[in-house]
């Protein structure tokens, strides 16, 4: 049970609270951390590709590549920060220690926003993939209702406290990686054509504003960076395992995402993907592969070993028949896991923010019977469902949710980079088990180039999102204003410093 310790009469003089330095069990290794992080990051390709191609069209591979570079910078900053500060909170913890409590609240509240959008957009995508089995789920009204039902179901499940099976999650993730590798291999083996890819990129090249906004929204493809950081208090040797997990996740994600985008453009045009398969792009790729007939004679014309090609075609033929159903099942499952991970992540984040008195402790109250933070679970799941309501009557909710995610995540990422730089200046004495190289000297301090470039890039793209996306601007700033008001009222009522760091509340876990 998680609870805040309050002294009883005599405790102040006779007894002391038995608070553990590390209240959470340290059981996760490198692969455990990787699987948790990839469960969030890897699932995003099932919807992010459709959002990006809807905006960037032929420049989608470019937008994903540029966003991938920013993802590398951000992952490296998180690796240094989490190894240095191995506690749940991610960018909020970095900002709180690098700057002060106010900036910790800004980073944490922006991160909470991105978790909510992750829940909403993952749940919204599930029905589109499951429409393979029941076509009505592809209809906007039915799909939106199903998405809200998924969030509601997971909210109830988390309030009751049913534990997820980590073994089952790892199995799904391994199957997901293998399926994506198979899709890429099949597309490259039978369909890839540099000429077709070139024409799909050049003939459908977007305008400069669309390209810039496409790069900004492409950041959604790399959602989940925070997941590993949030689990650092449960990691064995976090100073070593967390950076290794980030590097492993970075390599796998970049290879698979680039391969999937090229496979998609080898099978269909950007317009086809943006119109027919916007909500379920991987299903479109699998469907395109399954409907492709490769005559042995044609294959023999491009191979020095016709017999080998015939054998390969026969082997993959059966796989192509089951691939669409496999993708539909796997995507639905992975996206439900991602929705649940967003809900679990935000409840974990709430504990961290309440522990450092950045939000009212009531939000981290634990239900007596089920021992779960029911208030935060119900509140944030309800907000996710509210954000899905426009799906009943608006056709562009998919892009709107993408803009909202970019608002929250990019703000949190920018503050993470800024905090790493600030900690290099303010606390150079702190041990850094994983220290970024490629530093530049500034005022006698060593500043990592990747953090500087990451700060400039994420800040610039965030400003572009705010300027070009009215819905993200008003909803995003509205969310931040609510967080700031709650923060100042809470701190003032409890006579805590409004800006400076307050004392940490020590928690016990039974």
394-423 residue pLDDT tens: 777 877 888 888 899 889 999 999 999 999
Q: Do 509 and 2 form a contact (C-beta atoms < 8 A)?
A: yes
Closest CA to 92 of 406, 413, 375, 384: 413
Q: Please name the fold of domain 2-6+32-509.
A: Amino acid/polyamine transporter I (1.20.1740)
Decide if pLDDT at 242 tops 60.
yes
Closest CA to 216 of 469, 462, 473, 409: 462
Decide if pLDDT at 491 tops 80.
yes
Please report, for the chain, the start and end positions of each structural domain, with discontinuous segments joined by +. 2-6+32-509
CA atoms within 13 A on the CB side of 315: 10
Residues contacting 325, CB < 8 A, separation 6+: 132, 133
pLDDT at 212: 82
Mean pLDDT of 361-369: 75
Decide if pLDDT at 503 tops 80.
no
Decide if pLDDT at 25 tops 70.
no
| Long-range contacts of residues 313-322, Cβ cutoff 8 Å, at least 24 apart | 313/190, 316/186, 316/189, 316/190, 319/182, 319/186, 320/186, 320/289, 320/290, 320/292, 321/290
Q: Do 218 and 465 form a contact (C-beta atoms < 8 A)?
A: no
Quick one: angle between helices 374-388 and 140-160, nearest 10? 180
Backbone phi and psi for residue 443, each to the nearest 5 degrees, phi listed first? 60, 35
Residue 228 to residue 245: CA distance in whole angstroms: 8
Decide if pLDDT at 337 tops 60.
yes
Q: Do 108 and 403 form a contact (C-beta atoms < 8 A)?
A: no
Mean pLDDT of 362-382: 80
185-240 residue pLDDT tens: 878 877 777 888 888 889 899 888 888 888 887 877 676 677 777 666 666 777 77
The secondary structure of 175-226 as a DSSP string is HHHHHHHHHHHHIIIII--HHHHHHHHHTT---HHHHHHHHHHHGGGGTTHH
- CA angle 291–292–296, rounded 5-degree value: 140
More confidently predicted of 407 and 21: 407
Provide the residue count of the chain. 510
Give percent of the chain above pLDDT 90: 17
pLDDT at 116: 92
Decide if pLDDT at 456 tops 80.
yes
How sure is the predictor about 296, in pLDDT bands with cuts at 50, 70 and 90? very low
> 418 is written with which tokens?
């800024």
> 16 is written with which tokens?
């002391």
Q: Which span out of 271-285, 356-370, 463-477 was modeled with the highest average pLDDT?
A: 463-477
């Amino acid at each position: 049970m998680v609870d805040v310790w309050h002294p009883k009469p005599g405790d102040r003089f006779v007894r002391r609270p038995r608070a553990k330095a590390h209240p959470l069990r340290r059981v996760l290794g490198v692969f455990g951390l990787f699987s948790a992080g990839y469960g969030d990051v890897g699932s995003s390709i099932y919807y992010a590709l459709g959002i990006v191609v809807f905006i960037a069209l032929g420049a989608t591979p470019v937008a994903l590549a540029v966003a991938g570079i920013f993802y590398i910078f951000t992952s490296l900053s998180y690796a240094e920060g989490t190894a240095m500060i191995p506690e749940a909170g991610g960018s909020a913890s970095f900002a709180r220690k690098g700057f002060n409590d106010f900036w910790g609240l800004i980073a944490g509240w922006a991160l909470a926003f991105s978790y909510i959008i992750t829940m909403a957009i993952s749940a919204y995508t599930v029905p589109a993939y499951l429409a393979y089995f029941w076509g009505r789920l592809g209809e906007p009204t039915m799909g939106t209702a199903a998405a809200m039902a998924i969030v509601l179901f997971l909210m109830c499940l988390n309030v009751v406290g049913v534990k997820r099976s980590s073994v089952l999650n790892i199995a799904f993730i391994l199957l997901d990686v293998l399926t994506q590798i198979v899709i890429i291999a099949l597309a490259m083996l039978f369909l890839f054509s540099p000429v077709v890819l070139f024409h799909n990129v050049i003939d459908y090249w977007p305008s400069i504003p669309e390209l810039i906004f496409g790069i900004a929204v492409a950041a959604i493809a790399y959602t989940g960076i925070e997941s590993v950081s949030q689990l650092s208090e449960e990691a064995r040797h976090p100073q070593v395992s967390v950076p290794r997990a980030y590097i492993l996740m970075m390599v796998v994600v970049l290879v698979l995402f680039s391969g999937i985008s090229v496979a998609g453009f080898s099978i269909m045009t950007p317009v086809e993907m943006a119109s027919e398969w916007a909500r379920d792009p991987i299903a479109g790729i699998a469907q395109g592969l399954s409907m492709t007939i490769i005559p042995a004679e044609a294959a023999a014309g491009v191979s020095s070993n016709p017999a080998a090609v015939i054998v390969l075609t026969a082997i993959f033929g059966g796989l192509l028949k089951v691939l669409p159903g496999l993708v539909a099942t796997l995507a639905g499952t992975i996206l439900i896991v991602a929705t649940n991970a967003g809900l679990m992540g935000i409840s974990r984040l709430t504990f961290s923010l309440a522990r450092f008195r950045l939000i009212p402790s009531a939000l981290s109250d634990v239900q007596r019977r089920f021992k779960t933070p029911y208030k935060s679970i119900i509140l944030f799941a309800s907000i996710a469902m509210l954000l899905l309501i426009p799906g009943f009557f608006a056709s562009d909710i998919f892009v709107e949710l993408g803009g909202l995610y970019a608002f929250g995540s990019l703000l949190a990422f920018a503050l993470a980079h800024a905090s790493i730089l600030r900690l290099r200046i303010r606390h150079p004495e702190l041990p850094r088990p994983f220290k970024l190289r490629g530093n530049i000297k500034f005022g006698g301090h060593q500043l990592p180039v990747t953090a500087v470039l990451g700060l400039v890039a994420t800040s610039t793209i965030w400003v572009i999102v705010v300027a070009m996306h009215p819905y993200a601007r008003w909803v995003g700033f509205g969310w931040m204003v609510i967080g700031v008001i709650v923060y100042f009222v809470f701190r003032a009522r409890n006579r805590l410093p409004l800006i400076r760091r307050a004392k940490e509340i020590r928690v016990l876990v039974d």
